[in-house]
C-alpha cells in the first residue's frame, strides 16, 4: 500500500497486517479473540480506505473506473 498510495499509508498497512495476523490466530487457534468493536473499527477503516483508493485511481488511472459499478 505505501508503494502506491505513499509513505503516509505505512501505518495503515501495518494495521491491516496486524488485523490479518489476528484473524489467522482467531480462525485457527481460538474463538473470541476478535470483538465486535474490532470488527466495527476495521469496517470503518476499510470504508475510508476504499474512498481514498477510488480518489487515487480517479486521479492516476481514470480509465480503470470506466467499468466500475457502485455497490450498495
Does this model's pTM top 0.85? My answer is no
Contact 49, 4 (CB under 8 A): no
State yes or no: pLDDT of 72 exceeds 70.
Answer: no
pLDDT digits (tens, 9 = 90+) for 23-59: 888 777 677 777 889 899 999 999 999 998 899 899 9
Nearest CA to 12 out of 23, 20, 22, 1 is that of 1
Contact 9, 1 (CB under 8 A): yes
Per-residue pLDDT, 70: 60
Domain boundaries, the chain: 2-65
Any idea what the Cα angle at residue 48 is, between residues 43 and 50, rounded to 5°?
90
Any idea what the Cα angle at residue 13 is, between residues 30 and 52, rounded to 5°?
120
Amino acid at each position: 500500500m505505501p508503494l502506491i498510495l505513499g509513505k503516509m499509508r505505512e501505518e495503515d498497512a501495518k494495521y491491516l497486517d496486524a488485523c490479518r495476523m489476528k484473524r489467522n490466530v482467531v480462525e485457527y487457534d481460538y474463538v473470541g479473540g476478535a470483538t465486535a468493536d474490532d470488527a466495527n473499527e476495521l469496517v470503518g477503516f476499510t470504508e475510508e480506505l476504499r474512498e481514498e483508493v477510488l480518489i487515487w485511481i480517479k486521479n492516476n488511472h481514470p480509465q480503470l473506473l470506466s467499468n466500475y459499478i457502485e455497490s450498495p
